[in-house]
Chain A
Amino acid sequence: MPYVVHRLLAAALVVLGTTTLIFAVLYWLPGDPATLIAGENATEESIARIRALLGTDRPFWEQYADYMAGLLRGDLGISFATQEPVTVRLWAQFPSTIALTLFASLVAVIAGVLLGVLAAVNRGNWIDQAVQTVMLFFTSMPSFWLGILLILLFSVNLQWLPAIGSGSLAQLILPVACLGLVASGRLMRMVRNSVLDVLDEHFVTTARSKGLRARRILFLHVLRNALIPVVTLLGILMGELLSGTVVVETLFARQGIGRLLVDAVGVKDIPVIQGAVLLASISFVLINLLVDLSYAVIDPRVRTAS
């Protein structure tokens, strides 16, 4: 199937470009990691030795070629701060981030679709108004503020759930709710518009004039068609969630790629920063690729058009 091959090649090119972009941006990171590692009373000599050890004294192209060659072997370099391979540090944190993003996307999709359909079906009345207000709040509030409100309510006042840490399922609930709800705002809006569009279609009028029950029309005719364009939004949603994990993991003091990234930026641990951003970007590209491909499966019109 040429469409799949084309998409795969494009995705591979983007990943190559992304790696280059991240590498180039971080090459110009101000400050010298070697001086940080050497400590305050280090001599010029020992700083130079550390620099040679890290390989940061070599010219840009040499470092770049080295990094890309390593990448092909699945080697992301050695962490400046802990001397461990970057891949080891990333794999240690990745499961926690995956759990957070997966559950959060589940919350976002369920809340987004339910409320979006509810608003569209009640177009114009108070239910629609209420849902739209909620939507405006979710798209406009910073995730960390919602998180703080959740912590205040459920951890400080009610003392039902732990506020920080990771590992147990209870510790996952608040971060997931925070990340998922903030991301659901945009989805809600998209679902509402999409359902409204389909409600105006001729086949809905036909179904209605045939005397079909409203509920049957909604589930059989409207939702099937309305949810197709929403699938594309799932790709964008993943981008929001991956961005959000950085903030949410910091707020809830959870393990994860985002927290690792923030800590690495603090100590200028360039290989770890590179690895973390690259991992998130590749996941993002892959999910978008999957969304594109599944789109062609769900909606036959896409295949014939391309």
Chain B
Amino acid sequence: MAERIALFDDLAVRAPAATGQARWRLAWRRPRLTLPRWIGLKWLAPIAVVAAMLICAIAPGLLAPFDPTDMGDAILSPPDAVHWFGTDHFGRDVLTLMIYGARSSLLMGACAVFVGGLIGALIGLVSGYAGRWIDSVLMRLLDIWMSVPDILLAIILAASLGASLTNTILAVGLVTVPRYARVMRAQVLTVRGRSYVEAARANGCAEIWIVVRHILPHTVSPMLVMATLGVGSSILIGASLSFIGLGVIDDRPDWGFLLSQGRSYLTAAWWFATLPGLAITALVISVNMLGDAIRDRFDPRLGAS
């Protein structure tokens, strides 16, 4: 609370009536030599984890101590100085497999949210702006879409589309469409009724201009918050699909798939199943922390539910 008051004091001193565009210009001009006060551990810790995993995803060869296809002599050997995270049932280095596996989880998180968010935003926009029967029809369709529990819908979609990373991403994205559509629709409905939209219409603005210039900008921040919070659940749905063997089944290392293989060797090799699971959990926790932080910062009205 104190930081927010300080922020307003700051503005009040510099420009007593700084609102709207003026405040933006002011924000740009303010010198940014030190980190803003609101950036604390709750931002830095998750950003560090996500950044580390991003590096793994982009250039796994740089960090991995071994080659992911390299089968050594030591099968299921416990963690030691050579193999930090032990080896799997083929004698491959688990740490190396995990580093190479970062790519599919991050791609899953980012792309599935993109697919779901884009389609959801479009449906929500049309539904909220058009209103009347279009709105009712689209909302009933979303009800139907949501009546199939998440993972079950993902399973039949993934099965129908065929097994590949792209199709799994598409399936997970499609599953998450309704949640984005609903947030978008609610936001469009509130903005649509405001007086400046009415004013724009009275001025004879084209509908498309009203949507792009006056409505869309106000939907960005709630959608951004939803998207960040959605990354975690997309990764989890994707990992669940890999775990039950319906996700990516080519040679690409994948955390969920590694874990399902490690499950057969639980009594002999605890590291094989638990460490990839730890990676998934660390990534999802970081993304969720970031989502919470972004929401608290940019959209406190959304509440924490």
Contacts and interface: CB of A to CB of B under 8 A. Distances in A.
Contact of B151 (A21, A193, A243): A243
B285 A137 contact: yes
Contact of B140 (A17, A151, A239): A17
Contact of B263 (A15, A30, A251, A284): A251
A276 to B, nearest CB: 8
Interface in B135-156: 140-141, 143-145, 147-153, 155-156
Interface string B34-46: 0000000000000
B273 A142 contact: no
A229 to B, nearest CB: 9
Nearest to A136: B285
Contacts of B277: 141-142, 144-145, 148-149
Interface stretch (B86-94, B157-165, B202-210): B157-165
Contacts of A244: 151
A18 interface: yes
Interface string A20-41: 0110011011100000000000
A247 B154 CA distance: 12
Contacts of A240: 149-150
A148 B274 contact: yes
Nearest to A145: B277
Interface stretch (B52-60, B69-77, B185-193, B236-244): B236-244
A277 B236 contact: no
A152 B270 contact: yes
Q: Identify whether the interface residues of A are mostly helix, strand, loop, or mixed.
A: helix
A14 B147 contact: yes
Given A142-B243, A148-B274, A246 B144 contact: no
Contacts, number: 150
A243 B150 contact: yes
Interface residues of B, number: 47
> Interface residue tally of chain A, by bracket?
35 or more
Contacts of B289: 136
Given A18-B148, A142-B281, A247 B244 contact: yes
A156 interface: yes
B31 interface: no
A81 to B, nearest CB: 15
Nearest to B154: A243
Given A136-B285, A142-B281, A240-B150, 9 more contacts: A25-B156, A144-B243, A144-B256, A145-B281, A149-B277, A189-B304, A193-B305, A246-B244, A251-B263
6 contacts: A26-B160, A28-B160, A142-B256, A142-B259, A142-B277, A250-B243
Interface of A: 10, 13-15, 17-18, 21-22, 25-26, 28-30, 136-137, 139-145, 148-149, 151-152, 156, 163, 189-190, 193, 239-240, 242-244, 246-247, 250-251, 261-262, 265-266, 273, 276-277, 280-281, 284-285
Nearest first, the 6 A-B pairs at minimum CB distance are A145-B277, A17-B144, A243-B151, A140-B284, A140-B285, A242-B149
